[in-house]
Each structure stands twice: as C-alpha cells, then as structure tokens.
A and B are shown apart, each in its own frame.
Chain A
Amino acid sequence: MVEVVLEKVSRKFGGFVAVDDVDLAVRRGEFVTLLGASGCGKTTTLRMVAGLERATSGRISIDGEIVEDAERNIHAPAERRRLGMVFQSYAIWPHMSVFGNVAYPLQIRRRPKAEIATKVAAALRLVEMDRFVDRPATALSGGQQQRVAIARALVFEPTVLLLDEPLSNLDARLRAQTGDEFRALQKRLNIATLYVTHDQSEAMALSDRVVVMHGGRALQIGPPEDLYRRPASAAVASFFGAPNLLAARVTACQRDGDCFRLSLDGETWSGGGCAARDFAVGEPALAIVRPENIRWGDAPSGAAVWKGEVQASVFRGATRSLHIATASGLLRVEAPALASFAVGAQTQFWTGEEGVWVVPPDHASGS
C-alpha cells in the first residue's frame, strides 16, 4: 500500500531549480528520509508534499488521491491534505498551553470535548509529556517542545507524518536518544513518515530508505545499508563517511548473481572488486575503499595492496584514524584504537575483493 507518491516533481524559484524531477514513493508504515547538504531542496520537497509550496511541474498523490498536479493546475491546500507535520522550529504556539497546542487540530475538526481530552492525553502519553499538560508553551525546553510538536502532529491520527530536521535544535546527547524513541514510536503506530535531515548518521540509524539529494535531484534511493555498501556514485559514497576514491582501469568483468566481479588495475596496485553494473574491459572506473575495510600486515593473494608511510595517527576513542602516504596518494584507514602505529613507519595495507566497490568515474555517472 503506497501512501505518498511523487512523480517528476520540480520546483523553480524564478530561474533557479530548487527541486529537480524527484520521483519517490513512501509506503504505509515506511520511514523515508531526505538526506542532503543544506540548500539541496529537502525542505522545499517536503513543503510541496505538505501543500505549503506549489510544484512547478509534476504530480503528487496521497493515499491514491492526486493532491498536486502542476499540469492540470490541481493544488489541494495544506489543510485538506490531513498530514501531520513537525517544523524545524517546532512552531509551538506560545499563547497556548501544552494542552491547547495538542488539542488545536481536534478543536478545528469540532470533536466533542470528552474525545479531545482523551485523545490529547493519549497523544501526550505517547511522547511522555502527560505530566506537562497545563504548562504554558513558553515554559518548555527544546526537547519538550519537540515532543509536543510530535504529539500535535499525531493527535488527529494522520496516515502520513512529515518532519523537517526535528532533531537539529537539540544537543547531541538528546538527539540520539530522541531519534531512537521516535523511531520506536513510528514503528508502533506504523505511520508513513517522510523525514528531512542533513545528518547522515541520523538518516542511517532511523530510516527504512534514504533519498540522497544533491542540487535538487535525488541521486539515489535505497535502504541505508545499500547506499553505504553499494553507492551508485562517488557523490553518494562521499555522503557517508570519507571513503578512499581510487582511479583504476577494468581488466576483467564477469557477472555473479546480482553483481559483477571485476579485476582492476590501479596506479600502483591491482586487485578485485564488485560493482552493480557491467564494465567493458579497459573502461576507466573509480574504486571506493572504505577506511574501515582496510587491513594491514600480510595480504592474501589477489588482494589489493598499498605500501606506505604512516603520516598521522589520531586516537578517536573507539577507533584510530591513520593517514598513509602511498604511491597512489593519501590513504585513510580506520584501525582499532588499540592497534599501535608509529608515525613514520612503513607498513603494508590491503583489502580483499569484498572491500572494493566500483563505480563509473564522476563525469560518466552523470551526477
């Protein structure tokens, strides 16, 4: 069952294209995240779904009903779309109490008083704010405001929830905890959720699927693990962590189930790798090697091997980040924190076929 469908949705501000041909479907109970750097069009996309912004082309339907169709000039106003929304600033009305804020959607719908009372209480219990019913909204902390905003968005039982960077105004500790709690709540209510963030770890931890956006376009859509392990391009890969990008040439390519096994020739190295598409022999390619997949010491045969000098070794608590100067350039390596590397030491690093993901070079991938 599909709740929200975007078909070739674009939004132009004057000549500037803020959202460019986005296709997306959010299924019932699914948690989909729009991820991208600031200014890439996430908020605009979300606001078009909400009905607060008009699309300049494309179609949006919610629950099978077309709410936005630029070609046919259809635009259902925000209040008719029956979506819950949490704003980045939370938009808690300062002239009302917590109860007043959460009861508002029900009052607008002219529900009986008794029903309002029980539903507000239930919604506040969901976000563990039931103790604060009578607080004036101005006397709430950021985290509490965020919970009230969620309760307000949920109280009228919408089937879709939209959230615009709801955690960005919280401090780091609260952010992780609140995110996990919200994800648990979302699963329990089984509500389709479209979520906006610029924080990749947040996106990965919470989402069923992530939409990586850049310059108004959706670069890739998929489950977090897929995006991390099988990115379609170097741009997507660079969103998650800081992978090593190494230029190489394909020397052999053969299909294996749903992926392709390749042999690569780099500048000073050669080895195996995997890719999502077929490569011709001799075609240039980009090898993506995650720093945490790099081992050191004796390499098994067939592995890609780099020799180099340890330039920097930074202790990060759980891990240790190394910078290795190799003949093919700088190599970043994540090692266990307790492994000891002397700066200046010559060491051999390697990774097996499963640690090398191959994508077309940037100009060919069209991103």
Chain B
Amino acid sequence: MSAVDERRSGPGALASLRLRYSRTFGMAALIALLAFLSLYPVSMLLFGSFHTTPPGVAGAFDLAGYREVFTSETGLVLLNTVGISLAKTIPSLALAALLAWIVARTDTPARGVLEALVTLPFFIPPILTAMAWGMLGNPQVGAVNQAWRWITGSQAALFNVYSYGGVVWHMMQYSTPFLFLFIVEAFRAMDPSLEEASRMCGASQGQTLRRITLTLMLPALTTGFLLSFIRGLENFESPLFFGTPVKIQVVTTLIYDSINQRSVPEYEFATAMSFAVLALMCLLVFWQWRLLGARSFQTVTGKAYAPRLIKLGPWRWATFAICVLFFVVAVVLPVGQLLAGSMFRFFGFYSWDMLTLDHWTEAFDNSDIRRGFLNTLALGLAGATLTMILGGIVAYVSVRTRWQGRRIVDILAWLPWMMPGMVLGVGFLWGFALLPGPVSIYGTIWALLIAYVALGTPLSTRVMSSSYHQLAYDLEECARVHGAGFWRTLWSIVVALSWPSFAVGWVLTFFGIMRELSASILLYSAGSEVLSVVLLRLWGNGQSEVVSVVGLCTMALVLLFRWAQARFLARAVATG
C-alpha cells in the first residue's frame, strides 16, 4: 500500500518519506535505549550467574552459583521470604479493604482528610519508619516497651521489633496504604445501584456485602494481593533492619549479604540467586495474567454516580477512629520518635536534663549527610524528569500510534517491573563493569541515575498511558486536520492536556527515588552516596540521634511535596 501512496501523493512524497525514515530511526533509538535499561542488565545477570569471579575480573564459567542456589538452605530462605510476604499481605489487604470501604462508601466524618492521612505512609521512605520503629520497638529502651512497663508494672517487654513479627509489622505500614491506593478507586467507581438491586432482591446488607460488593471487588482485590505479595518478596528494608540482627534471612538480604557482608564477596552465588528470583517473578506475573485475564469484568464505567453512602449512624465514629488509629500508628508514632530521638542526648533516656540541640548542629555540619542529601536531591530531580519524559514517549508510542515496533517498546519498558531493585542492581553491577573501556559509568553517580530511570519507567509509562487513554482521539485528529504538524500536535494537545498526570507521575517517581535503597546500596561508591545509604551507615554506627534529625528533615520534604501535590493536582493517580 505504501508504494501506491507515495506515487499518488505527489509533492508530499518526499516529505512523507523523510518522516518515515526519521520515525524508523527514532523508534530504533528508543528500542535501543529501553533495551539498555532492561534487557541489558537481564542478560548480564545471566552472564554473571555462570562467571566464577567478580565483575570486571577475568574468570571461567561454571555452575557453582546455581548449585548453591538449589540447596535446602537457600530453599528455606525462599520459603521464609514467601511466608513473610504472605503474612504481611493478607492482613494488609483486609485492613486496606476496610479503610477503602470506610473512605469510599460510608458517611464517616472527614473522609477527605482521612484519605490523605491514611495514604501518607506510602510516601514516607520505609528506611525512616524502619529506624523509628527500631527505636520504638527496642525491647530494652523502646518507647513502646517503656510505656508498657510503666503502665503495667511488668518487667517483660510488650513487643520486640527484631523478630518475624517486627518484619511483618513494618512491611504492613507500607503495603496497607499501597493497597488502599490501589483499591479505593474500585470501591468508589462501583455503581451503588448494583448493591441496591441486591437489597431489592431480598438480600440483607451483610449478604449484599459478601455476594455483590466483595465479589465485584474481587479482580481489584486479587490484583492488589498479587502486586503486594510480589512487593513483599522484593522488600529489603524491613528484613534488613528487623530480620538481619536476629538471623532472619530473606532473598534480598541474602543477596546483599553475599556481596557486601562476606569476607570474600560471593558474586557468582548472588548473581545466580538474583537470576532465580527474576525467573520466579516472571512466573508469578504470568500466573497473575492468566488468573485475571479470565475474569476481568468491568465495574468501572465512565459514568459519575451519585455518591450514595452507607449510613453508619453512631458507628461512623468507630470507623473514624479506625482510620485515625492507623494514621497514629503508621505516621504519628514514628515521627514522634524521630522528633524525640533528635532532641535528647542519648536514645532511650528521656528526661528534661537530657534535652539538647547538639544533634541538629552535628547533622548539619556533617559533610557526608550534606553530600548524601545533595546527591539524592539531584538524582531525584533529574531522575524523575528523565523517567517521566521517557515514560511519556513510550506511552505515546504504544497508546496513540500504530507505528511498527510499538509492542516491543511497550514490553521493554515494562520489563523492569518484574525486577526487584536488588536484582536490577546486581544486573547493572555486571553491566557497568563490562562496558567497553572509555565508557566508565561504574562507580559514578550516573550508575544510580540509570538504575533509577530503569526502575521508574514501568510506573511512569503506566501513569502516562492511562492519561493518554482518557484523551479523546478526535481532539488530536482535529488538531491535525486543522493543519498542525506532528510535533505541534504532540505539544499542544498531548502535552498540554496530560501535564497533570505528568506532574503526579513525577512526584511519585521522585518519592520512589528518595526511598530507593536496595539498588543504591549496590551501585553507590565513595562520593556518590545517596541519603538512604548515608542513613544506613550512620544507623550501623549507632548514631540514631543524628539519623533522627535527617529523618525528620526528609519527612518534612515528603510532607511538602505531598501537600503541593494535593494542593495543585486535584486528584492523585493511584498507581503502584
């Protein structure tokens, strides 16, 4: 058809030919870039998993790494990981569903505020809450246990955060708001007459909740469950803080330990382990597709329904209290602990004469902290911007064009989604070390930037494609019919109309970079430390007071961004 087209179009033929070539070239460049961000680290993982020596050192190939992966010891770690993730996902899902129902479907007072409060923990870097809970739940001097002893007069601790329970507890604080964000829209978008029809058929409120509401929510709940479960397998901070000190191991800490905590780093095993985790993730994701592909019924239609809320009567104060309690536990307690930690001379000794501001001056004078902060800020700004631009381009190509190769673009951009930060970190470790001579990324801040862009691209693509999906096609076509060229159309319609999603995605990506620890800790080197790495090091040195100061400042930054987002962008795009 193209040959006929060209002959017919006469004077425009040359221009269209040029457009076609530049488009082909552009697509090739895009595919190459995406492949470098996703396929390259994956193939380097495979390469490294057979390689007997660390990255960059000449060596031979054998199967020793995999032999070690398939031992009962490693199997136990894997089981442990799955067990912990299940143990946190199930209660988180139940709690998130309850909170989402309260906020979206009942007449609980101040629902808007409650929604903002309940989702806040999602935006707080887990490393901060981990440190706060490390102090709060310390069996000897933790505030929770001190309070418990003081109230009950008993000698025993209420709760030791360095335990399985502690790991699960800390994971829940992050996964509950994550799941909440994921399912609340599904609750909100449900046509209330579906429930009323059930009442009219003679079903009670309880029967309706069970047979209609929850069943209709099942796809959203299942997807949320699987997502959160996968996130649980990838989690690094919680097991690192609360598991490692008491010898509770999961796959991420196992990989980390075998590279960083052994006298001789076991790269081959760590890489083989990473590749095995990646394979496992693939299986899980495909299973998720199979499971949900069959039952993807739509309850979310474009119609705006009159918000018909369930009247709870006096119970609405109980539901109000549930939301507030969650906020207190997940935000107020940790922040309060950081505040207290930063103001007293020694952690755990809370009396008037111990009050001091020394830690604040110490923190601000510390050049490591300052550098980490500046690095994080620079990486966050640049990384979020680049990631969103890349995501915007990828989404545009895959959603709004019929260009050849757009499926490949889509899949490549999505691939890092299956890679835990730790696994991608190991992949890039190999990838950067094996790049040909003059290109030296290894050990520079660029390594981190590239890893962050790779990790963020799936999310940014998703945010942007859902925004493009909402733009009517005729808008764009109309602009083109009226003589706007391709770039002009792209600018005036697509960019001008989808900037709110861009901004929301930018903030989410920025938060993602701020809280990233597992890839950073593998890829940083002297001079390119990010804040989370610096914090971890200070914590390891027992400087919990200075950590508290930095934690508070970071928290303030999070709040500022969150406030700006809520203030200037009417509706957050709930994606994970």
Contact A91–B202 (Cβ < 8 Å) = no
A77-107 vs B: 1/0 string, CB under 8 Å?
A: 1110011110111010111000000001100
With A108-B207, A138-B297, A138-B298 already in contact, the answer to whether A91 and B196 are too (CB < 8 A) is yes
Is residue A109 contacting chain B, with contact meaning CB distance below 8 A? yes
With A105-B201, A105-B202 already in contact, the answer to whether A95 and B191 are too (CB < 8 A) is no
Contact A104–B201 (Cβ < 8 Å) = yes
Is residue B147 contacting chain A, with contact meaning CB distance below 8 A? no
Having A78-B196, A108-B207, A156-B202, one finds 11 other A-B pairs with CB under 8 Å, namely A50-B200, A79-B200, A79-B201, A79-B202, A87-B196, A93-B212, A94-B216, A104-B201, A104-B203, A108-B201, A152-B197
Residues of B that sit less than 8 Å from A by CB: 191, 193-194, 196-204, 207, 211-212, 215-216, 218, 295, 297-299, 303
Of listed B201, B203, B211, B303, residue having the most chain A CB within 10 A: B201
Q: Which residues of B contact A78 (CB under 8 A)?
A: 196, 199-200
Contact B201–A91 (Cβ < 8 Å) = no
* Complex: A109 Cα to B207 Cα, angstroms: 12
* Complex: A239 Cα to B215 Cα, angstroms: 44
Q: A87: nearest residue on chain B (CB-CB)?
A: B193
Is residue A345 contacting chain B, with contact meaning CB distance below 8 A? no
Contact B197–A109 (Cβ < 8 Å) = no
Of listed A52, A88, A93, residue having the most chain B CB within 10 A: A93
Q: Which residues of B contact A105 (CB under 8 A)?
A: 201-202
Q: B200: nearest residue on chain A (CB-CB)?
A: A85
Q: Which residues of A contact B212 (CB under 8 A)?
A: 93
Contact B199–A79 (Cβ < 8 Å) = yes
Selected contact of A83 from candidates B193, B200, B216, B295, CB within 8 Å: B200
* Complex: A105 Cα to B212 Cα, angstroms: 13
Number of A-B contacts (CB under 8 A): 69
Q: Which residues of A contact B198 (CB under 8 A)?
A: 93, 104
Q: B203: nearest residue on chain A (CB-CB)?
A: A108
- The 26 sampled A-B contact pairs (Cβ below 8 Å) are A50-B200, A52-B196, A52-B199, A78-B199, A78-B200, A79-B199, A79-B201, A82-B202, A87-B193, A87-B196, A87-B197, A89-B193, A91-B194, A93-B194, A93-B197, A93-B212, A94-B297, A95-B216, A95-B297, A104-B203, A104-B211, A138-B297, A138-B298, A152-B197, A152-B201, A153-B200
User: Shortest 8 CB-CB distances between A and B: which pairs?
Assistant: A105-B201, A91-B197, A78-B199, A91-B193, A85-B200, A94-B297, A87-B193, A108-B202
Q: Which residues of B contact A77 (CB under 8 A)?
A: 199, 204
* Complex: A138 Cα to B194 Cα, angstroms: 14
* Complex: A138 Cα to B215 Cα, angstroms: 15
Q: Which residues of A contact B202 (CB under 8 A)?
A: 79, 82, 105, 108-109, 156
Contact A79–B203 (Cβ < 8 Å) = yes
* Complex: A78 Cα to B199 Cα, angstroms: 6
- Whole-angstrom distance between the Cβ of B200 and the nearest chain A Cβ: 4
- Whole-angstrom distance between the Cβ of A103 and the nearest chain B Cβ: 10
* Complex: A149 Cα to B201 Cα, angstroms: 11
- Whole-angstrom distance between the Cβ of B265 and the nearest chain A Cβ: 52
Selected contact of B197 from candidates A82, A85, A138, CB within 8 Å: A85
- Whole-angstrom distance between the Cβ of A24 and the nearest chain B Cβ: 20
* Complex: A83 Cα to B200 Cα, angstroms: 6
* Complex: A52 Cα to B310 Cα, angstroms: 11
- Whole-angstrom distance between the Cβ of B310 and the nearest chain A Cβ: 12
Contact A93–B196 (Cβ < 8 Å) = no
Within 8 A of B (CB), among A191-224: none
Q: A54: nearest residue on chain B (CB-CB)?
A: B311
Contact A95–B196 (Cβ < 8 Å) = no
- Whole-angstrom distance between the Cβ of A22 and the nearest chain B Cβ: 21
- Whole-angstrom distance between the Cβ of A187 and the nearest chain B Cβ: 23
* Complex: A50 Cα to B196 Cα, angstroms: 10
Contact B299–A94 (Cβ < 8 Å) = yes
* Complex: A91 Cα to B200 Cα, angstroms: 11
Q: B296: nearest residue on chain A (CB-CB)?
A: A138
Contact A91–B191 (Cβ < 8 Å) = yes
Q: Which residues of A contact B215 (CB under 8 A)?
A: 95
Q: Which residues of B contact A136 (CB under 8 A)?
A: 297
- Whole-angstrom distance between the Cβ of B449 and the nearest chain A Cβ: 45
Contact B200–A95 (Cβ < 8 Å) = no
- Whole-angstrom distance between the Cβ of B208 and the nearest chain A Cβ: 8
Q: Which residues of B contact A51 (CB under 8 A)?
A: 199
* Complex: A104 Cα to B216 Cα, angstroms: 15
Q: Which residues of A contact B211 (CB under 8 A)?
A: 104
* Complex: A94 Cα to B197 Cα, angstroms: 13
Q: Which residues of B contact A85 (CB under 8 A)?
A: 196-197, 200
Q: B305: nearest residue on chain A (CB-CB)?
A: A89
With A89-B191, A89-B193, A108-B207 already in contact, the answer to whether A94 and B298 are too (CB < 8 A) is yes
* Complex: A94 Cα to B295 Cα, angstroms: 10
* Complex: A181 Cα to B207 Cα, angstroms: 33
* Complex: A82 Cα to B200 Cα, angstroms: 7
Q: Which residues of B contact A82 (CB under 8 A)?
A: 202
- Whole-angstrom distance between the Cβ of B166 and the nearest chain A Cβ: 39
- Whole-angstrom distance between the Cβ of A78 and the nearest chain B Cβ: 4
* Complex: A94 Cα to B298 Cα, angstroms: 7
* Complex: A83 Cα to B196 Cα, angstroms: 12
Q: B308: nearest residue on chain A (CB-CB)?
A: A52
* Complex: A105 Cα to B207 Cα, angstroms: 12
Q: Which residues of B contact A88 (CB under 8 A)?
A: 193
* Complex: A89 Cα to B190 Cα, angstroms: 12
Q: Which residues of A contact B191 (CB under 8 A)?
A: 89, 91
Q: Which residues of A contact B216 (CB under 8 A)?
A: 93-95
Q: Which residues of B contact A50 (CB under 8 A)?
A: 196, 200
* Complex: A156 Cα to B196 Cα, angstroms: 16
Q: Which residues of A contact B203 (CB under 8 A)?
A: 79, 104, 108
A141-174 vs B: 1/0 string, CB under 8 Å?
A: 0000000010011001000000000000000000
Q: Which residues of B contact A109 (CB under 8 A)?
A: 202
Q: B196: nearest residue on chain A (CB-CB)?
A: A52
* Complex: A136 Cα to B295 Cα, angstroms: 11
Q: B216: nearest residue on chain A (CB-CB)?
A: A95
* Complex: A14 Cα to B73 Cα, angstroms: 66
- Whole-angstrom distance between the Cβ of B64 and the nearest chain A Cβ: 51
* Complex: A153 Cα to B193 Cα, angstroms: 14
- Whole-angstrom distance between the Cβ of B15 and the nearest chain A Cβ: 45
Selected contact of A156 from candidates B199, B201, B204, CB within 8 Å: B201
- Whole-angstrom distance between the Cβ of A264 and the nearest chain B Cβ: 47
Of listed A84, A95, A109, residue having the most chain B CB within 10 A: A95
Q: A137: nearest residue on chain B (CB-CB)?
A: B297
* Complex: A78 Cα to B200 Cα, angstroms: 6
* Complex: A149 Cα to B285 Cα, angstroms: 37
Q: B194: nearest residue on chain A (CB-CB)?
A: A91
- Whole-angstrom distance between the Cβ of B103 and the nearest chain A Cβ: 22
Q: A162: nearest residue on chain B (CB-CB)?
A: B200
- Whole-angstrom distance between the Cβ of A1 and the nearest chain B Cβ: 23
Q: Which residues of B contact A84 (CB under 8 A)?
A: 200
* Complex: A230 Cα to B201 Cα, angstroms: 40
Q: Which residues of A contact B297 (CB under 8 A)?
A: 94-95, 136, 138
Q: Which residues of B contact A153 (CB under 8 A)?
A: 200
* Complex: A15 Cα to B201 Cα, angstroms: 32
- Whole-angstrom distance between the Cβ of B531 and the nearest chain A Cβ: 46
* Complex: A83 Cα to B197 Cα, angstroms: 11
Within 8 A of B (CB), among A10-32: none
